[in-house]
Amino acid sequence: MSATAEVIPHTVEPHPVTGVYNGKFGMWLFLASEIMLFGALFSSYVLLRVGSAEWPHGYSVLNVPLATVNTMVLITSSVTVVMAWYCLQLNDFGKARLYLLATIGLALVFMVIKYIEYSSKFEHHHYPRTNLFYGLYFTLTGLHGLHVLGGILVFLYFVGPGAGMWKTDPHRYTNRVECAGLYWHFVDLVWIFLFPSIYLL
């Protein structure tokens, strides 16, 4: 056992109380706080929409085809991050790194499409201050975009400077990628709720 593992116990083996290693337990706690954050925003969206007599249908003012492509992009990125973790389980770091790079690439595609969508709205002078609908649209999708950006930075770390851990502590590195994958699945799940709620209804 390395000195780091002695200082921070249960980074690889499950904790006897929780049944999972500490990093995974910490990630679940973090995701619980994220659920409360997005849950509050979704609740606000529902209450404000129900109480508004002139709420526009998302499909009449938003770019549904672009949002559909983005949905497919994020779903695919969830598959690639799982494949990265699976390859690490098979001790194939080379393939895992390629899948992580694919995940980063897909996330960047998502952000580019979102930039195109936002640019179109700004060109037509639609801003968060325009009305309640656009205020919530930019708040929800913007916050989600920040989470996507955070995921990109984490995965860049794992394929860059953080990749050195694979040589010294491969099990811990694999666990870290798994935790990042849990976060990424949550980000994808939020979008799966955002897409129909804002764009299709």
Other CB atoms closer than 10 Å to residue 70's CB: what's the count? Answer: 24
Looking up tokens 């992009």, which residue turns up? 73
21-71 confidence digits (pLDDT tens): 778 888 999 999 999 999 999 999 999 988 887 888 888 899 999 999 999
82-131 confidence digits (pLDDT tens): 999 999 999 999 999 999 999 999 999 999 999 999 999 999 999 999 88
Task: Report, at the CATH architecture level, how domain 21-48+61-200 is classified.
Answer: Up-down Bundle (1.20)
As a whole number of angstroms, the distance between CA 79 and CA 82 comes to 5
| Segments in 9-92 forming alpha helices (H) | 22-50, 58-61, 64-89
List, in sequence order, every beta strand (DSSP E) within 21-80.
Answer: none
**Phi-psi domain of 20 (left: phi exceeds 0; alpha: psi -120 through 50; beta: other):** beta
Residues 59 and 199: beta-carbon distance below 8 Å: yes
Beta carbons within 8 Å of 44's beta carbon, 6+ residues apart: 136
Q: Where are the domains of the chain?
A: 21-48+61-200
Examine the pLDDT at 5 and tell me if it is beyond 50: no
Residues 74 and 122: beta-carbon distance below 8 Å: no
The one-letter amino acid at 132: L
As a whole number of angstroms, the distance between CA 109 and CA 115 comes to 10
**Phi-psi domain of 56 (left: phi exceeds 0; alpha: psi -120 through 50; beta: other):** beta
Closest alpha carbon to 22 in 41, 36, 5, 35:
5
Number of helices and strands (H, E) in the chain? Answer: 8, 0
Examine the pLDDT at 145 and tell me if it is beyond 60: yes
Other CB atoms closer than 10 Å to residue 165's CB: what's the count? Answer: 17
Q: What is the pTM of this model?
A: 0.89
**Phi-psi domain of 93 (left: phi exceeds 0; alpha: psi -120 through 50; beta: other):** alpha
Mean pLDDT of 137-153: 97
Closest alpha carbon to 150 in 113, 197, 195, 111:
111
